[in-house]
Structure 1
């Protein structure tokens, strides 16, 4: 019987152990202690142990030998250890979530908006937003999100703006990419599980809520984005002339509570004080 855990060298002077077969915790403990001694003698640095969900009984043994949780996926847990007597240089777990927001604008300068069923802003009209899947490109994910939420087929035009928020989801940060989209179909069919309603809205102003990153002027309406949620508030009447954009950075007090109209009034006053025009 081999007295060392099977391991593959990585590109950074460490080793990766991918456990697959069932093993008694006592046997695993003995092999792990022997393996760590050998790896130290060989000058190895980081050690990774990938444990599938059916070998969860080995986690406690590894933790007692100095390993820590690095990250988890639905079917496995990744443990890590740093062997040298120096500060670990192992990369941390993923720090950011990537979210997309879709500004779906048709030839009539009308924008597609939705109301969500869940969350703290279920009465607010907003653009379609969603989290990118693993390995999914921005231009692919934003098309998918609009289709899932509204049934509308769209064409990606460009990323018009992006923003960053911290401590959004279990301590993780989030990057939101606002994408200009062109509709290819017009028959709205909402996603019943998540979306309460969807419609076309006109006369919209969009800006970042809390820390204002971009102000998008469009007629006389108003829109706000906080964290991963971009909310839209505006008029459904009128015929806007074009879609002028501006990018003026202004730091605003963060929005608290569920009174967007009240916050809007404060924001407009703030714009007046700082000389930011309401029309371009």
Structure 2
């Protein structure tokens, strides 16, 4: 009678489906799955926990995966193991292809439990690790994490005298002239990175004008095995007095672009950009600039920046 009562909400086609589900996803017991599934089916689009034995609370993404953002605070490893196993069974039955499990460092013992069920580390940032489980067909199609680091430099050009701001890094085996710069922070536009880094290293305030170049380098020794993207921006000075950071820089000065293009103690990319800037001074920077425009993204409420040579208004 109990089984009939539990199956009452389902259609006649439920029993064949349920037998197939048991065959593909064996959990603890038929009764355990049926009782869980009966409670789950009436609320299958809700992503909140529904009491003891319910799947872990998870959000669904647009790519067929689920993300578990919060784990039970006082759960034991044994209880978590059972809860995770049952949750994965439910997510598989729904057709999800991947699980992302966010584990805070204070619950790192649960990472071992998840690993025993096929989860692997995907990445870790500060006080949280993210584990993943591929449940789709064939080899995992989950994207790798952080394949590139992004460095940004600012070439601050004084158009009135043809000088550009350059520095020599401290604690380098070979001190060469270069443009001030550093790594871009998460969610920071490259123009903002260039302006920030120039001020932090030299004390000179500036404004973003354009993107000049992109360098791609693989096997970068300081990128933890990732590839490196290095972007150089053209900036205009707002102030001119140098007050450089002596922890990072050995020297800092305004140098003639023509001299920078020829000196032997400048990095090859610095010499090349100096020549590009000289060409811009002589022919107009519109001949070398990649200007920026902000456009709406396909994701609601988001925008992105696109960099390209300016085109006539009749094409925009």
The TM-score with structure 1 as length reference comes to 0.73
Number of residue pairs aligned between Structure 1 and Structure 2: 225
Farther-moved stretch of structure 1 (43-52 vs 17-26): 17-26
2:267 matches 1:224: yes
Paired with 2:123 and 2:258, the residues of 1 have a C-alpha distance of 41
Matches within 5 A, 1:1-280: 1-20=52-71, 21-106=73-158, 107-121=160-174, 123-168=175-220, 169-204=223-258, 218=261, 220-221=262-263, 223-225=266-268, 230=270, 243=281
Q: CA deviation at 1:3?
A: 4.1
Deviations 1:56-109 (A, max 9, x none): 111111112111111111121111011133222222212111111211111211
Computing the radius of gyration over CA atoms, which structure comes out larger, 1 or 2? 2
Give the RMSD, CA atoms, in angstroms. 2.6
User: Structure 1's 242 and 108: CA in aligned 2 closer, same or farther, altered over 3 A?
Assistant: farther
Deviations 1:31-64 (A, max 9, x none): 1111112221221111000111211111111112
What SS class does the counterpart of residue 218 from structure 2 fall into? Answer: strand
What SS class does the counterpart of residue 105 from structure 1 fall into? Answer: strand
- Greater strand share, structure number: 1
Q: CA deviation at 1:244?
A: 5.1
Q: CA deviation at 1:203?
A: 4.3
Relative CO higher for 1 or 2, CA cutoff 8 Å, sep ≥ 6?
1
Structure 1: state its 5+ residue gaps.
207-217, 235-239, 248-280
What SS class does the counterpart of residue 162 from structure 2 fall into? Answer: coil
Paired with 1:137 and 1:110, the residues of 2 have a C-alpha distance of 26
User: Structure 1's 204 and 65: CA in aligned 2 closer, same or farther, altered over 3 A?
Assistant: farther
Deviations 1:237-261 (A, max 9, x none): xxx99845899xxxxxxxxxxxxxx
Paired with 2:239 and 2:230, the residues of 1 have a C-alpha distance of 25
Deviations 1:173-212 (A, max 9, x none): 1111111111111111112321222111124477xxxxxx
Structure 2: state its 5+ residue gaps.
1-51, 289-316
Q: Is the 8 A contact 2:118 2:133 kept in 1?
A: yes
The TM-score with structure 2 as length reference comes to 0.65
Q: Is the 8 A contact 2:180 2:197 kept in 1?
A: yes
User: Structure 1's 113 and 22: CA in aligned 2 closer, same or farther, altered over 3 A?
Assistant: farther
Q: CA deviation at 1:137?
A: 0.5
Q: Is the 8 A contact 2:176 2:267 kept in 1?
A: no
